[in-house]
Chains A and B, each alone.
Chain A
Amino acid sequence: MIDLEPEIGTGGPAGAGVPARQRPLEPEGDAPDVGLIRSEAALLNLPEPLLAGDEPDAAPAPAAGRKPAAIVASALLPGAGHLFYGRFVTGLWILFFWGVGLALALQVRGDLSATLKGDRPLDHWIAAGSLFAYLAAVWGKAMADVAVRYARPPRTAGISEWAVAGRRFRKNRLAMIGLAIMTFIYLVTLMGPYLAPYDPNAQDDIVRTRYLAPAAEHPMGTDKFGRDVLSRVIYGARISLSIGFIAVAISVTLGTLIGAVAGYFGKWVDNLAMRLVDLLISFPRLVLLLAIIALFQPSIFLIIAVLGLTGWMGTSRIVRGQFLALREQEFVQATKALGYGSARIIFRHILPNSMAPIIVVATLGIGNTILTEAALSFLGLGVQPPTASWGSMVSDGKDALINAWWIATFPGLAIVLTVVCFNLLGDAARDALDPRLRS
Chain B
Amino acid sequence: MTRGRGPTTEPGGCLLPLAPSPRSSPTRRLQLLPILLLALACGKAEREQPTTTPAGEAAPADGDRLIIGTTADVDALNYLTLTTLTAQEVAGELFWPLAEINPDLLTFHPGLADSWEFSPDSLSLTFHLNPRITWHDGVPLRADDVVWSMGACKDEKIAWSSIRWLDRIKNVTAVDSLTVRMDFTERYPYQLMDASVCRPTPKHLLEKIKPEEMRNAAFNQNPVGDGPFKFKSWTAQQSVELVANESFFRGRPHLDGVVWRIIPEWTSLITQLSNGDIDLVTGIQPTFYKQLAEDPDLQVYSAPGRRYVYVAWNLRDPLFGDRNVRRALTMAIDRQALIDALLYGQAKVMNSPFPEILWAYDPNIKAISYDPEGARKLLEQAGWKDTDGDGILDKDGKPFRFEMLTNADNTLRVDITVAIQSQLKKLGIDARPRGMEFVVFTQKLQNKDFQAAVAGWNSQIKVDLTDLWSSKSIPDKFNFISYASPVVDSLIDAGIAEFDTQRAKQIWSEAQQIVADDAGYSFLFEQFDINALSKRFKNVEMNSYGWDYNLPEWYVPKGEQKY
A224 to B437, CA, bound (A): 23
- Determine if A399 is an interface residue (Cβ-Cβ < 8 Å): yes
> Quick one: which of B285, B291, B433, B440 contacts A386, CB cutoff 8 A?
B433
What 1/0 mask marks residues of chain B from 395 to 425 whose CB sits below 8 Å from any chain A CB?
Answer: 0000000000000110100110111011000
Interface magnitude class on chain A? 20 to 34
Interface size on B, residues (CB 8 A): 29
- Determine if A198 is an interface residue (Cβ-Cβ < 8 Å): no
From 421 to 443 in chain B, residues with beta carbon under 8 angstroms from any chain A beta carbon are 421-422, 432-437, 440
A224 to B287, CA, bound (A): 9
- Given A206-B341, A297-B436, A386-B433; A403-B287 close (CB under 8 Å): yes
- Determine if A287 is an interface residue (Cβ-Cβ < 8 Å): no
- Determine if A107 is an interface residue (Cβ-Cβ < 8 Å): no
B6-14, B183-191, B264-272, B318-326: which lies at the A interface?
B264-272
A386 to B434, CA, bound (A): 9
What 1/0 mask marks residues of chain A from 278 to 320 whose CB sits below 8 Å from any chain B CB?
Answer: 0000000000000000100110000000000000000000000
User: Would you call B421 and A386 a contact (CB within 8 A)?
Assistant: yes
What 1/0 mask marks residues of chain A from 366 to 380 whose CB sits below 8 Å from any chain B CB?
Answer: 000000000000001
Smallest distance from the beta carbon of B521 to chain A beta carbons, Å? 22
User: Would you call A380 and B409 a contact (CB within 8 A)?
Assistant: yes
What 1/0 mask marks residues of chain A from 190 to 219 whose CB sits below 8 Å from any chain B CB?
Answer: 000000000001110011001000000000
User: Would you call B285 and A385 a contact (CB within 8 A)?
Assistant: no
When distances are taken between beta carbons in the complex, the residues of chain A under 8 Å from B432 are: 384
- Given A380-B435, A384-B434; A402-B340 close (CB under 8 Å): no
Q: Tell which of A203, A225, A381 has the most Cβ of chain B within 10 Å.
A: A203
- Determine if A147 is an interface residue (Cβ-Cβ < 8 Å): no
When distances are taken between beta carbons in the complex, the residues of chain B under 8 Å from A386 are: 418, 421-422, 433
- Determine if A400 is an interface residue (Cβ-Cβ < 8 Å): yes
User: Would you call A399 and B287 a contact (CB within 8 A)?
Assistant: yes
When distances are taken between beta carbons in the complex, the residues of chain A under 8 Å from B421 are: 385-386
When distances are taken between beta carbons in the complex, the residues of chain B under 8 Å from A400 are: 287
- Given A386-B421, A399-B266, A399-B411; A298-B436 close (CB under 8 Å): yes
- Given A203-B422, A398-B267; A294-B433 close (CB under 8 Å): no
User: Would you call B267 and A297 a contact (CB within 8 A)?
Assistant: no
- Determine if B174 is an interface residue (Cβ-Cβ < 8 Å): no
User: Would you call B418 and A402 a contact (CB within 8 A)?
Assistant: no
When distances are taken between beta carbons in the complex, the residues of chain A under 8 Å from B158 are: none
User: Would you call B414 and A385 a contact (CB within 8 A)?
Assistant: yes
A294 to B409, CA, bound (A): 13
Smallest distance from the beta carbon of B31 to chain A beta carbons, Å? 28
When distances are taken between beta carbons in the complex, the residues of chain B under 8 Å from A401 are: 267
A298 to B435, CA, bound (A): 8
User: Would you call A381 and B340 a contact (CB within 8 A)?
Assistant: no
When distances are taken between beta carbons in the complex, the residues of chain A under 8 Å from B434 are: 297-298, 384
A398 to B436, CA, bound (A): 19
A294 to B214, CA, bound (A): 31
User: Would you call A385 and B270 a contact (CB within 8 A)?
Assistant: no
Q: Chain B: which residue is nearest A395 at the CB level? A: B411
User: Would you call B287 and A385 a contact (CB within 8 A)?
Assistant: no
- Given A207-B341, A210-B341; A385-B411 close (CB under 8 Å): no
User: Would you call A225 and B437 a contact (CB within 8 A)?
Assistant: no
User: Would you call B337 and A206 a contact (CB within 8 A)?
Assistant: yes
User: Would you call B287 and A384 a contact (CB within 8 A)?
Assistant: no
When distances are taken between beta carbons in the complex, the residues of chain A under 8 Å from B270 are: 402
When distances are taken between beta carbons in the complex, the residues of chain A under 8 Å from B265 are: 398
Could you give 19 example pairs across A and B, Cβ below 8 Å? Answer: A206-B419, A207-B341, A224-B287, A224-B342, A225-B341, A225-B415, A225-B419, A225-B422, A294-B436, A294-B437, A298-B434, A298-B435, A385-B414, A385-B417, A386-B421, A398-B267, A399-B287, A400-B287, A402-B267
Additional 17 contacts, C-beta under 8 A, given A206-B341, A294-B437, A294-B440: A206-B340, A206-B342, A225-B422, A298-B434, A298-B436, A380-B409, A380-B435, A381-B408, A385-B433, A386-B421, A398-B265, A398-B266, A399-B266, A401-B267, A402-B267, A402-B270, A402-B271
A→B interface (CB under 8 Å): 201-203, 206-207, 210, 224-225, 294, 297-298, 380-381, 384-386, 398-403
B→A interface (CB under 8 Å): 265-267, 270-271, 285, 287, 291, 337, 340-342, 408-409, 411, 414-415, 417-419, 421-422, 432-437, 440
